[in-house]
Chains A and B, each alone.
Chain A
Amino acid sequence: MGGLIDVMPGPPVDRDEHDYALWEKRVDALMVLASAKGYFTVDGLRRALEDMGEESFETMTYYERWIASVTQNLIESGAFTIEELRAQMEQVQARGDTYGEASLDSGKEQADA
């Protein structure tokens, strides 16, 4: 790979900014912690991001790509199995239709906010 496949002059930079959502900050924190604990490196993160291909830039947000890469690396390093992840995701999904409902401890944080 080695970065951008297509370095052509493009459209102006869209400078809208948004505050990161709680789930995005958590993805960031999971990356920092998992790498600090030796499960994988930033190089592994980047490798899996690149492997998603150029079109993932169009279809996924930044932290969506990150959680996909973090998860891929954690599976590879044996932190959990694919089956464990599948079962856990099924359980999470069954809790409700919003992030607030599905993430067990977010009720507490909202109360603190």
Chain B
Amino acid sequence: MPHDGHDHVSPSGHPYRPDQDAPLTHWQVMEIAVRELLVEKGIATAEEIQAQIDSMDRRSPALGAKVVARAWSDEDFKARLLADGSAACREMGIEVDALKLIVVENTEDVHNLVVCTLCSCYPRNVLGLPPDWYKQRAYRTRAVREPRTVLKEFGVELPGTTALRVHDSTADMRYLVLPKRPDGAEGWSEEQLAEIVSRDSMIGVAVPQI
């Protein structure tokens, strides 16, 4: 079938994924070649690579939201989470692998904001892959240079009396913000609470709303 850039359907009858159909790039050629060499040399199997992709696909902010909802509902769990984030996640059956998680708590007086100025360090085991903006230079520079302005652009207006704590993930730890539980959610179940916890609120660029 000629490739004219419109409505391609694969032999299986499914549409091609966008990246399958666009002109092949130099970097895609490199990815394919490296992957094939690793398989050929027995360094990794095709199944392992696929399994890794599947396991990444299973991770989403819903995991982080469950952790937050548990901390909102259980003071003892919250204390353990703040003392050792990875151990507390493991306790909930979340695969943390080598993730070294530090959880920082937003309160009436303190708001935490997470950034990685060096690259894109992010607690992906509990939030999934980082969004594009997290890795952008605009966010990475401005979150340390003018964090209150960035927060305002994301819709978070911090009173001057609230202390702002920025966390730059420069080394071995990864950071998750425990947002402040909003008023009006008294008596909610953990499942209900988890639904109002967005990915962005666990980085500190949003606050849970009812």
Contacts and interface: CB of A to CB of B under 8 A. Distances in A.
A3 B171 CA distance: 12
B24 A30 contact: no
B15 to A, nearest CB: 9
B94 interface: no
Nearest to B10: A110
A23 B49 CA distance: 12
Given A4-B117, A79-B37, A12 B31 contact: no
Interface in B1-56: 3, 10-12, 14, 16-25, 27-38, 41, 43-44, 46, 48-50, 52-53, 56
A21 B18 contact: yes
B139 A13 contact: yes
Contacts of B43: 34, 37, 39, 79
6 contacts: A29-B49, A98-B3, A98-B20, A100-B16, A111-B12, A111-B14
Contact of B142 (A3, A13, A49): A13
Contacts of B137: 4, 10, 57
A32 B56 CA distance: 10
Interface stretch (B69-77, B146-154, B175-183): B146-154
Interface string A17-49: 110111111111110111001010000001001
Contacts of B60: none
B129 interface: yes
Interface string A72-113: 001000011000110011011100111111111111001101
Contacts of A57: 137
A46 B119 contact: yes
Nearest to A85: B33
B145 A74 contact: no
Given A25-B53, A46-B118, A96-B24, A4 B141 contact: yes
B52 A33 contact: yes
